[in-house]
A and B are shown apart, each in its own frame.
Chain A
């Protein structure tokens, strides 16, 4: 049930007349629900701000939260719920901050015995419901953007390309390799090949917990793309169980060199590029 312009005017009047009592009661209810995790002063500030914008919206003849007069009120609500989401409050705790207004309002309206009181209260609480839902939506949006940011950071963190030797780069893969990560790894590696002019790349899969056909497919694609650009890839760090899985699944690595450890792969590459390594007898302390 939507609010009529007349009713929203009455709501604004009521809120203005009983301003102090209402915000006081409202703050009290919210403080109780959050069990002291936010200071009373801070909550009172938020309640006053929200109170102010409801009055403004009401005086402008707000009927629906979504219409043009609700702009400022929506902004205040969005800010409130974004703040709560970042501070780690649950969705219920966030929504209660708005719904507490309903209780506070009911206590006030029980005192006045007008004929329209019930009708008004139902309309007001419809508005408060809308506000609560809006708060919930903003809360979810903030949380989702937080998660997306973190996933992106994780992606950035987990795919370094390191230079092992002149003309040799390595990618130590850590964690599960899904399509998105495989794509990032591929792009990073190929770009590193171009930037450093390295003709050899080692893909180390020691940190990959499991290799299935899809992961193998991603690795193969990377190797083929590197070959197209004129660089050779070596796969290293294949653990015993993974070797067994690869064979059991019938994955063919074809003519791609695979080595058990990164050290073996580096030695292989150095031999290919004509670098000689020699063991020098350790000098004795005399």
Chain B
């Protein structure tokens, strides 16, 4: 069975899908990714689909599931490198991949995750400040 490799770059896990996804491969990827997120404590997941010619409802659902799993484990998911033809097909099919963040390429994806993390920290800082002022 084919397995999708998961690469760790700094605080981010990079998944580059280069094979046709079957049920088995998708399930395996979800399991592997969940384990790796917990093991490495990464806070970002980038799924690169540059090599995919076809994204159907099955792959779309898989991406949604991965995003949800990562969210539960406190990691932000970004899908990067979608081809124009794939995007057009998805729009024609009426699949909007709601709840999934997208970026043009891996670099932009990393920027997006960094920005999202920064926002979270800002919010957390804001909350702490509010608490300290409340107690004082």
Contacts and interface: CB of A to CB of B under 8 A. Distances in A.
Interface of A: 186-187, 190-191, 193-194, 197-199, 221, 224-231
Interface in B48-87: 78-80, 82-84, 86-87
A228 B82 contact: yes
Most buried by B among A191, A194, A197, A225: A225
Contact of A194 (B90, B91, B92, B104): B104
B83 to A, nearest CB: 7
A96 B101 CA distance: 67
Contact of A199 (B87, B96, B108): B108
Contacts of B83: 194, 229
B104 A193 contact: yes
19 contacts: A186-B84, A187-B84, A190-B84, A194-B84, A194-B104, A197-B107, A197-B108, A199-B104, A221-B91, A224-B96, A226-B87, A227-B102, A229-B83, A229-B87, A229-B104, A230-B80, A230-B101, A230-B102, A230-B103
Contacts of B82: 228-230
Given A190-B87, A190-B88, A194-B84, A228 B108 contact: no
Contacts of B105: 197
A224 B93 CA distance: 12
Which secondary structure dominates chain A's binding surface? helix
B120 to A, nearest CB: 19
Nearest to B95: A228
Contacts of A199: 103-104, 108
A230 B104 contact: yes
B130 interface: no
A75 to B, nearest CB: 41
Interface of B: 78-80, 82-84, 86-88, 90-92, 96-97, 101-105, 107-109, 112
Contacts of A227: 102
Contacts of A226: 87
Contact of A228 (B96, B109, B112): B96
Contact of B91 (A191, A197, A228, A231): A228
Contacts of A190: 84, 87-88
A15 B108 CA distance: 78
Contact of A229 (B92, B96, B102): B102
A40 to B, nearest CB: 57
A229 B52 CA distance: 13
A228 B104 contact: no
A221 B88 CA distance: 8
Nearest to B92: A221
A228 B103 contact: no
Q: Which 9 A-B pairs have the closest CB atoms?
A: A190-B84, A230-B102, A230-B103, A225-B87, A228-B87, A225-B91, A229-B82, A230-B104, A229-B87
Nearest to B104: A230
A168 to B, nearest CB: 13
A267 B108 CA distance: 21
A190 B101 CA distance: 17
A203 to B, nearest CB: 15
A225 B108 CA distance: 17
Given A197-B105, A197-B108, A229-B104, A224 B91 contact: yes
A229 B108 contact: no
Contacts of B90: 225, 228
Contact of B88 (A187, A197, A198, A230): A187
Nearest to A193: B104
A198 B104 contact: yes
